[in-house]
Amino acid sequence: MPILTVLRKEKDIHLPFERGPSMREILDVADLSVRSGCRGIGACGLCRVQIVKGKVPPPTSAEKLHLSGDQLEQEVRLACQVRPEQELKIKILNPAPRSKWKALLPWRKNPAGRCPVFSFRDLPGDEKERCGVAVDLGTTNISLSICAFSNGERIAGRYGLNPQMSFGYDVVTRIEVAAESPEVSRVLHQQLIDAIREALLDIASREGIDLKQVVYLTHVGNTAMLSLLSGRNYELLLHPDYMMRPIDCLPDDTSLWSVSWGVHPEAVIEVIPPLVGFVGSDLLAGVVTTRLIENGAGALLIDFGTNSEIALWDGSTLWVTSAAGGPAFEGCGISCGLPAEPGAIYQVRIEEGSFDFDVIGGREARGICGSGMVDFIACLIRSGGLTEMGKFAPEISRKTFALTECENRIVLTKDDVDVFQRAKAAIGAGIKVLLNSSGMEFGDLKRICVCGAFGRYLNIVNAQEIGLLPKVQTSLFELCGNTALAGCEEIMLSSEALEYVSNLKNKAKIVNLAECGDFEDLFLESLYLRPMGDS
């Protein structure tokens, strides 16, 4: 994979990249944004970089319009107009202000694989310029994207930390504090409204999009997040009777939301209802976009997150459950943890007896994300530094292990291992319960979709070795990324997908892990750091 080297005063940054995206998109994802105000189409002329070393295609007509002859001779180019094919060294001449919202790569085609077929006759705005916003409300992260209704393409997207984390990493804690205080409930609601507004404003200012073109917004998420967004019935999630019952968390009035977000005043705002209890519409969106039930029995979907959700298709029934994995998969709750963002170690390996690693964005390591934790623990098991019970070897002093000794010292503690083991065990037990409920075995699995930001960089073999994923052929696994957002986009763009969601609810059978007599035994069995199913 070729490398884009960004020269900086403090330290050069090396960015591996795949051919296809523009230099602007590569820099955006690495959180090294250049100024822009035109959605990357070359109209503003702001995203200026200088090619220091390497060859790029000749200047485009947009570059000739915005750059002088002297600038072009000095290899000044517009980042949005250059699609790197080989090794390059560059300087960013016009850096953008730092933002807490990270960029998502836009899609080159309609994520639904077809033109939108939803009827927009009753929606406001000019037909050619209308846009929709898809929102995935996660416990740890909020992701959203803007799609054009004319062709279904994603124009831009952002993701960032859910500000509600100040009230607790997990959904139960947030629900409890909301139930105890109407004032806190209002704060939690407003935090979500404000976060969506900030992300939209970030897109509008950087991409040159008029938010008044947004005439439709669709939201998916786990039940807790949707109920806190609407301010309705979140307290029901604290009662066991509602674990297996639908919870009405649709908002009564969204008119003020449109005002806060600056979208078209008559924009339609939709919240896709969750399935039941702690099984949200984010899972439904994932099943939609992966086509989980369309290719025969034995399809398993695992959406890793703080509230992890699992679905198993046996050919006639969609078996569904949720597992309280905690925030470890998303780099939270770990002493050295970091979300999967620039600066996070995402791959760890042992080479000639020494630990080596890769960092997202090619920067100095600031922490380790979920996929890096999987590799780190697997490597420690393999090297004898950690036992399958999660205990450090006797020769490791202080019960900690340092991966780096640089300024940002990254150390794995015994508590970190314990937190990860509990998260892993919840997933493992959930998978086994669904298999038992459906009468299936590991050998019956034909397709496994690994979803969530956690899965983007996951090493399947390492995940299998520590018992996070079933020990089956690696060719059966698909790393699907954020299927909640992709499915939300598809539901927004297509009436067929919206109808598909309704049909899914009729095929689903919910399994409450708390009511499974063997769950505790399966959980304890899954705590061991060994392949799933080994005894």
Mean pLDDT of 469-490: 94
Q: Which pLDDT score, from 0 to 100, does residue 361 have?
A: 81
Model confidence at 529, pLDDT cuts 50, 70, 90, reads very high
Tokens of 480: 């699907």
Same domain, yes or no: 395 and 521: yes
Model confidence at 115, pLDDT cuts 50, 70, 90, reads very low
Distance CA 455, CA 416 (A): 20
Mean pLDDT of 63-67: 95
Same domain, yes or no: 345 and 485: yes
Mean pLDDT of 444-448: 97
Mean pLDDT of 254-271: 95
Count CA within 13 A, CB hemisphere, residue 265: 0
Mean pLDDT of 462-482: 95
Contacts of 391 (CB under 8 A, 6+ apart): 414
Q: Which pLDDT score, from 0 to 100, does residue 106 have?
A: 67
Mean pLDDT of 194-215: 94
Model confidence at 202, pLDDT cuts 50, 70, 90, reads very high
Mean pLDDT of 149-178: 90
Q: Which pLDDT score, from 0 to 100, does residue 46 have?
A: 93
Same domain, yes or no: 248 and 183: yes
Q: Which of 25-34, 263-272, 457-466 has the lowest mean pLDDT?
A: 25-34
Same domain, yes or no: 174 and 52: no
CB atoms within 10 A of CB 298: 21
Mean pLDDT across the chain: 89
Same domain, yes or no: 86 and 113: no
In tens, the pLDDT along 217-239 reads: 999 999 999 999 999 999 999 98
pLDDT of 508 above 60: yes
Domain end: 33, 64, 92, which one? 92
pLDDT of 269 above 90: yes
Residue 259 falls within a domain, yes or no?
yes
Distance CA 447, CA 296 (A): 9
In tens, the pLDDT along 318-353 reads: 999 998 877 788 777 788 888 888 888 999 999 888
Residue 285 falls within a domain, yes or no?
no
Q: Which pLDDT score, from 0 to 100, does residue 390 have?
A: 92
pLDDT of 208 above 60: yes
Q: Which pLDDT score, from 0 to 100, does residue 18 have?
A: 87
Q: Which pLDDT score, from 0 to 100, does residue 403 have?
A: 86
Residue 97 falls within a domain, yes or no?
no
Count of the separate structural domains present in the chain: 3
pLDDT of 112 above 70: no
Q: What is the CATH number of the domain that holds 67?
A: 3.10.20.30
Q: Which pLDDT score, from 0 to 100, does residue 108 have?
A: 47
Greater pLDDT, 406 or 271: 271
Same domain, yes or no: 356 and 232: no
Same domain, yes or no: 384 and 257: no
Contact 300, 433 (CB under 8 A): no
Domain end: 221, 244, 278, which one? 278
Distance CA 92, CA 97 (A): 12
Domain end: 223, 249, 278, which one? 278
Q: Alpha-carbon torsion 275, 112, 150, 203, what sign?
A: positive
Q: Which pLDDT score, from 0 to 100, does residue 122 have?
A: 63
Residue 369 falls within a domain, yes or no?
yes
Contact 386, 417 (CB under 8 A): yes
pLDDT of 101 above 80: yes
Mean pLDDT of 144-166: 92
Q: What is the CATH number of the domain that holds 132?
A: 3.30.420.480
Task: Compute CA distances 75 → 15, 50, 94, 376, 517, whole Å.
Answer: 20, 5, 14, 42, 68
Residue 257 falls within a domain, yes or no?
yes
Same domain, yes or no: 424 and 367: yes
Same domain, yes or no: 314 and 243: no
Element (H, E) at 499: helix 495-507
In tens, the pLDDT along 286-326 reads: 999 999 999 899 999 999 988 889 999 999 999 999 988 77
Distance CA 73, CA 370 (A): 45
Are β-strands 299-303 and 447-451 bridged in parallel, bridged antiparallel, or unpaired? Answer: parallel
User: In this structure, which long-range contacts are made by residues 119-126, counting pairs with CB atoms below 8 Å and at least 24 apart in sequence?
Assistant: 119/495, 120/149, 120/215, 120/216, 123/215, 123/216, 123/266, 123/268, 124/215, 124/264, 124/266, 124/267, 125/212, 125/213, 125/215, 125/264, 126/213
pLDDT of 109 above 50: no
Mean pLDDT of 393-415: 80
Q: Which pLDDT score, from 0 to 100, does residue 120 have?
A: 52
Contacts of 294 (CB under 8 A, 6+ apart): none
Distance CA 59, CA 327 (A): 46
Q: Which pLDDT score, from 0 to 100, does residue 411 have?
A: 87
Q: Which pLDDT score, from 0 to 100, does residue 242 have?
A: 80
Same domain, yes or no: 32 and 50: yes
pLDDT of 443 above 70: yes
Contact 438, 507 (CB under 8 A): no
Same domain, yes or no: 306 and 388: yes
In tens, the pLDDT along 9-51 reads: 878 999 988 889 999 999 988 889 899 988 888 999 999 999 9
Count CA within 13 A, CB hemisphere, residue 184: 15
Residue 283 falls within a domain, yes or no?
no
Same domain, yes or no: 118 and 266: yes
Residue 358 falls within a domain, yes or no?
yes
Three-class SS state of 313: strand
Q: CA geometry: angle at 279 spanning 252 and 171, to 5°?
A: 75
Tokens of 211: 């938010």
Residue 447 falls within a domain, yes or no?
yes
pLDDT of 451 above 90: yes
Whole domain around residue 381: which residue ranges? Answer: 291-535
Q: What percent of the chain has pLDDT over 90?
A: 61
